[in-house]
């Protein structure tokens, strides 16, 4: 699980950051963006759509790194 926190400079990925945060499963960023779940969980506007999409793409990329491949 990855924690996304709304800080003074926007959204950041931080496990221990102070403030309103959201726990998100890596790989679910696109779905959270589609359902507008971040705005509801953070109780406000998460920020510019491009910045949020880039952050969530990074979270989803972490999920791809953890997947094992078998042939």
pLDDT at 20: 84
Residue spans of the chain under pLDDT 70 = 63-71
Quick one: pLDDT at residue 66? 54
Q: In 1-71, which ranges are continuous DSSP H helix?
A: 29-34, 37-42, 49-66
Q: Give the pLDDT confidence score for residue 70 in this predicted structure.
A: 39
Say whether pTM exceeds 0.75: no
CA distance 47 to 60: 18
Cα 29–Cα 34–Cα 37 angle in degrees, nearest 5: 70
- List CB contacts of 42: < 8 A, sequence separation 6 or more: 6, 20, 22
pLDDT in the model for residue 2: 87
pLDDT, residue 69, reads: 40
Per-residue pLDDT at 64: 62
């Amino acid at each position: 699980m990855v924690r996304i926190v709304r800080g003074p400079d926007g959204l950041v990925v931080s496990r221990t950051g102070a403030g309103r945060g959201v726990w998100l499963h890596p790989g679910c960023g696109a779905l959270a963006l589609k359902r507008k779940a971040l705005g509801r969980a953070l109780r406000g506007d998460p920020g510019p759509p491009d910045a949020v999409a880039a952050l969530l793409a990074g979270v989803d990329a972490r999920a791809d790194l953890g997947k094992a491949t078998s042939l």
